Chain A
Amino acid sequence: MAKRIGVPAERLAMAFALFHPAVTTVLVGARTTAHLNNALQASQLEFRPEWLDEINNWN
């Protein structure tokens, strides 16, 4: 799915966690600034409701 929409899997996973309305903040444990950068990019990514539908259909 990440490949198809052209977003790295880590970034998609992070964007998913940020998408839930009850979540104030997502904590990122970084060993390098690149890890943190992935999270920063994810926070700019607009997570689409249809992606969530697709995720909810995995099993």
Chain B
Amino acid sequence: MQTRALGRTGLSAPRIGLGCVTFGREIDEDASFAIMDYAVEHGVTLFDTAEAYGGGQAREYRKSALGMDDTREVSGELHSSEKVIGRWLRARGCRTNITLVTKVTTNYTRGHVREALDASLERLETDFVDVYLFHQFDAKSPVDEAVAALDEMVASGKARAGGVSNYNSQQLHAALDASRRLGLRRVEVTQPPYSLAAREIESDLLPLCEREQIGVLGYSPLGAGFLTGKYTPDRNAFPKGSRFEVIPGHADVYFSERNFRMV
């Protein structure tokens, strides 16, 4: 597996990383273990997870809000993605071979970020993550406080680098400005969606990352399955158990005339 420097973090990352959102949601623990074993065997040693990934909560939410019972959700365990990874790391004893990425969902105050990372570390059964990300932009979290919170996590040794996910170029720019102005560690990694069906980041975000040498972890390379060609514009005809049947909102991102012509 080819690797690349992950921005200026000093970490090196494989070109392919494992997205672990399905663990405990679409696949059970045995299947998750088998995927992680297979991944590591083939050099896919970067694992991406989040406190928000997992069964239980999401299934209940979809049942009440959308009236659908997500039968793919194989575990009722909250935060199951992190927990399954934690149990796998313990079983295999290979924490140091893995570049571990996890995320805090929202509310980027120092107190909350500290608590959230401590809880993630407990579930992951480790004392540090390699990269800790803000899962999405939170307009209610002032940027100065947010970058200070990330800085503190890296200073404590609980995270080797900090970063963001789903930020646009202005939001990332503001975070970089704030850390520069305050003399704090900066955002070193960003995680945007990137695929043939979602190329918006090519115009601003990726050039900014190139200029600033920020590591980029692209997600949804198949447009959450859209590019496999299994969908038609008819929203009442999502294949059973497919991503858009379970999370119809994700279809809004990709269902355009142009994208259907493409597939």
Q: A30 CB to closest chain B CB, in angstroms?
A: 5
Interface string of B219-258 (1 = CB under 8 A from A): 1111100011100000000000000000000000000001
Which of A17, A30, A55, A59 has a CB less than 8 Å from the CB of B18?
A30
Interface size in chain B (residues, C-beta < 8 A): 52
CB nearest to B243 among chain A residues:
A29
The answer to whether A25 touches B196, judged by C-beta atoms less than 8 angstroms apart, is: no
CB nearest to B9 among chain A residues:
A24
Is there a chain A Cβ closer than 8 Å to B52's Cβ? no
Chain A interface size band reads 20 to 34
Is there a chain B Cβ closer than 8 Å to A5's Cβ? no
Which of A24, A28, A36, A55 has a CB less than 8 Å from the CB of B13?
A24
Chain A residues contacting B7 (CB-CB under 8 Å) are 24
The answer to whether A18 touches B196, judged by C-beta atoms less than 8 angstroms apart, is: no
Which of B6, B26, B48 has a CB less than 8 Å from the CB of A31?
B26
Q: What 3 A-B pairs have minimum CB-CB distances, sorted nearest first?
A: A29-B19, A17-B221, A22-B206
For the complex with contacts A28-B17, A30-B35, 15 further pairs of A-B residues with Cβ separation under 8 Å are A10-B222, A13-B223, A16-B221, A20-B206, A22-B216, A25-B217, A25-B218, A27-B48, A28-B44, A29-B20, A29-B219, A33-B35, A40-B1, A58-B261, A59-B258
29 contacts between A and B (CB under 8 A): A9-B227, A9-B229, A13-B223, A13-B227, A17-B194, A20-B206, A22-B206, A22-B209, A25-B14, A25-B15, A25-B17, A25-B218, A26-B194, A27-B18, A27-B46, A27-B191, A27-B221, A28-B16, A28-B17, A29-B19, A31-B22, A31-B31, A36-B16, A36-B44, A39-B16, A40-B42, A43-B15, A58-B261, A59-B258
